[in-house]
Amino acid sequence: MRAVLLSALALVAGASAHIGRPRHGCTESHLLAKRQGGTVASESQLTNPTQECTAYSVPGIDANFLKLFPQPWTVTPAEILAGDNEALQYMQGINASGVIPTSIGVRGAQNEQAWAGAGLAGTYDIPGDPDCWWTDKGCTTPKHPNLIADVETCPEPETWGYSVDDGPNCTQNALYDFWKQQNQKVSLMFIGSNVVNWPLQAQRAITDGHHVCAHTWSHKYMTSLTTDQAFAELWYTIKAIKYVMGITPTCWRPPYGDVDDRIRGIAQGLGLRTIMWSHDTNDYNIQPYGAQPTASIQANYQSIEAVGSSPAAATGGIIVLQHELEDAVMSLAIAEYPNIKKNFKSIVPVNTCLNITKPYYEDYTFPDFEDYVGGKIDPSPSGQSSIAIGSTSYTITPLTYAASSSAAGSVGTAAAAGGSSSAATSAFSAPTAPGATPVNTAGAAAATVISSQQAGSSSKSSGAAVTLVPGLFVFVAALVGAALC
């Protein structure tokens, strides 16, 4: 059934549709015998796909740890877990802030094809696109007040913004080795379920100094989910990334690009900026994983590479969608890299093309654009060889939302479309989890993160001037017990 659906979708896949979906790494690897996982370094040495993709246990990822998350690739979409008051209160806080437009309902269907078939044309004002539903018209500038515009291009001329969806992947080593060899950093859009299934692969992203954003828990069409489900998809992904990788992301990419102002509001309540793309390699659709012969995906890559030497490249760069779904997709990324390099002056991760040097709440500093293109590519601290999974306590600092009242006047088209700008004065403080300790330095870091993110989008004139104020949660994880995938 899924195969039929996938090939039907492949037929309608255009430049705007990201149809590829990850396979169920955990459920598949469950069928195989478990091995003892080593370290990031030892895991990075493996080259045999069967060995690489055999599920492993590592200290810290055990039954108790996994109880903190929806079961990877089994509970889809994610739901707020029973008894998870922290998540529940956080969601309530976002609701109370008013950042989520309440006029927008759950979409009736999961994708454009089903959506047309379901007669949604009658239930949504397609020409008006009042909710800035990307899946409909590619809208990236929110129409409701106080929402930050999506990022879809790179301000730096002749620049390829390198973004890779759907990792971590059990067979990623060859690609990550290649990046290392080429002194290339990238932006990785990680799926929460994959992060908990492949924790050492996830940690390699940090060890290698790449930039990480969230790509939801189970890769669903977000506009088809209830507000609480969409929240849970993001919440548990941030939490998995924090617990396993030690950092808190401030960006996310919607699977299939499926986002509207309701979903943007939920993401923003979690301190996440929406990162789209301007060019889609369609690499997910390569045979045998997808439906297209290698040559046609290559031709598509080449048409994007040609942008680098076009007159348009002088005025700005692009953000390109690539994947680390499986071997053929990753091999093509390696094969095309020299051509990209030939055609573009610089190839940089998305945070770097936006000149964002502090993409996390934690104390990591990435090079700014000039430093990166000058060859200083490593974040500091860099090259951490191990990250403790299973320490007894973690802090996570998602942002709380507060729109400054001065934003009201600058909301412009958003206020007009939304009817009211009064929500611009709304604010909330994050509910404090039991045992939480406010940390002021985290506040400073968070403010820097968001203000530099906004600087990165200054070309989007209608983006509301929103300030985000950090809250702090302390998650305490009791990490003992038998390993369990």
Ligand X SMILES: *[C@@H]1O[C@H](CO)[C@@H](O)[C@H](O)[C@H]1NC(C)=O
- Which residues make up the interface to ligand X (CB under 6 A)? 22-23, 25, 28, 49, 53, 88, 91-92, 95, 102, 169-171, 194, 198, 226-228, 326-327, 355, 357, 368-370
Nearest residue (beta carbon) to ligand X: 25
Shorter beta-carbon distance to ligand X: residue 112 or 194? 194
Residue 328 to residues 179, 283, 333, 338, 463, Cα–Cα distance (Å):
16, 9, 9, 17, 39
Tell me the residue type at 303: S
How far apart are CB 102 and ligand X at their closest, in Å?
5
Shorter beta-carbon distance to ligand X: residue 38 or 157? 157
How far apart are CB 127 and ligand X at their closest, in Å?
26
How far apart are CB 235 and ligand X at their closest, in Å?
11
Shorter beta-carbon distance to ligand X: residue 49 or 138? 49
125 has catalytic annotation: no
Q: Which two tokens stand for residue 296?
A: 């046609």
Shorter beta-carbon distance to ligand X: residue 286 or 399? 286
Q: Taking each helix axis from N to C terminus, what angle separates 85-97 and 227-245, rounded to the nearest 10 degrees?
A: 120
> How deeply is 65 buried, as exposed, middle or buried, from its count of CB atoms within 10 A (0-12, 13-18, 19+)?
buried
How far apart are CB 107 and ligand X at their closest, in Å?
14
How far apart are CB 32 and ligand X at their closest, in Å?
11
Sign of torsion, CA 445 450 252 171? negative
Shorter beta-carbon distance to ligand X: residue 129 or 327? 327
**Contact 398/270 with Cβ under 8 angstroms?**
yes
Shorter beta-carbon distance to ligand X: residue 194 or 274? 194
- Choose, from 84, 136, 165, 208, the residue flagged as catalytic: 165
Q: How far apart are CA 459 and CA 355, in angstroms?
A: 14
How far apart are CB 368 and ligand X at their closest, in Å?
4
Sign of torsion, CA 190 52 205 299? negative
How far apart are CB 197 and ligand X at their closest, in Å?
6
Shorter beta-carbon distance to ligand X: residue 91 or 240? 91
Shorter beta-carbon distance to ligand X: residue 327 or 362? 327
**Contact 310/343 with Cβ under 8 angstroms?**
no
How far apart are CB 354 and ligand X at their closest, in Å?
9
210 has catalytic annotation: no
- Choose, from 210, 211, 215, 323, the residue flagged as catalytic: 323
| Catalytic machinery residues | 165, 323
